[in-house]
Amino acid sequence: MEKDGTIQTEKQKEKLENEESVQEKKEIKKEPLYVLRETVSEKDMVKEASLKYALKCQGEYTLEDYYALPDDQRVELIDGVIYDMAAPNMAHQTAVTAMTVQLNNYINSRGGRCLAYPSPVDVQLNCDDRTMVQPDVLVVCDRDKIIKRCVYGAPDLVVEILSPSSERKDLTIKLAKYIGAGVREYWVIDLRLEKVIVYDIEHECRTAIYGMNQHIPVQIFDGDCQISFDGIMEMVRSILDSPEPDE
C-alpha cells in the first residue's frame, strides 16, 4: 500500500505541474503582441537574426537571410554561402579613397556617365537571390543598373584589396563570379607586396601585374585613365607597419 500511495502522490504532483504549465502558457498568450515587442532588447534582435543565419546549411542562404542580419554585421552572399567580412583597416581605406577619387575625377573631366563608388555598396551581381557582394571599389557605366538598394547587375570595373581573411575568396571564388557575371575588368590589390593584378576580362581575360609605383591603365577606358598610388604609398606603409596601441 505504501508503494501504491507513493505512485499516486507522484501522479498527483505531475498533474499539478502540468496544470500550472498550461496556465502559464495561457497567461503568456494573453500578453498583447506590442508589449512583447517592446521588451525585446537590441541584443536579443541580434541574437534572433544570428539564429536565423545559423538555421540553414551553407549554400542554402538567400537575400532574405542576407537582409535579416544586423546592419553592423558585414557579410557577402555568394551562391548561397555567407562569408563574414572583417572591418577594413586604415591602409585599405586610404587606397580605396585614392582610387575612387582618381576614377571620378577622370570620368567627370570627360563628361562621362560612369560612376565610381567605394565600399560598402551592395552589388546583386547575377540579378538573382543567391549572390550579393560588396567590392572595395566599383565603376558602373550603365546607370539603369543603379537602383535604390544596390547595383543590380555586373559593374564594369571591380577592385578588391586583399586581406588575410579575403585572399582566397578574392583570387578564386570572386574572380570566377566576376568573369561569369560579365564584369569587364577586375583588379586585385596587394598592399603588402605593393602589387596590382589586372584581369582584362573583356579582352580574353588578359592578365597583367603592376607595381604600385607605376601608373596603371584602366582598360575599360582604353588605358586613357591611369591610376597612381604614388601620393599615398608612404602613408600606406606607415599604417601597415604601425604598432597597435596598448589597451
The terminus-to-terminus CA distance of the chain in angstroms comes to 70
Q: Please give the pLDDT value at position 231.
A: 93
DSSP 8-state symbol, 69: S
The bridge status of strand 151-152 relative to strand 185-190 is: unpaired
Q: How far apart are CA 235 and CA 237, in angstroms?
A: 5
Q: Cα separation of 225 and 174, whole Å? A: 24
Average pLDDT, the chain: 84
Q: Give the pLDDT score at 30.
A: 36
In order along its 247 residues, the chain shows pLDDT tens digits of 444 554 455 555 555 555 555 444 444 333 332 222 333 333 333 334 454 555 789 999 999 999 999 988 899 999 999 999 988 999 999 999 999 999 999 999 999 999 999 999 999 999 999 999 999 999 999 999 999 999 999 999 999 999 988 999 999 999 999 999 999 999 999 999 999 999 999 999 999 999 999 999 999 999 999 999 999 999 999 999 998 887 5
Output the pLDDT for position 80.
Answer: 97
Helix 90-109 to helix 233-241 angle, to the nearest 10 degrees? Answer: 160
Report d(CA 61, CA 66) in Å as an integer: 8
User: How far is residue 170's CA from residue 140's CA, in Å, rounded to a whole number?
Assistant: 20
Instruction: Give 120-142 pLDDT, tens digit per residue.
Output: 999 999 999 999 999 999 999 99
Q: Which of 215, 216, 221, 182 has its CA nearest to residue 198?
A: 216
Residues 188-198 pLDDT 10s: 999 999 999 99
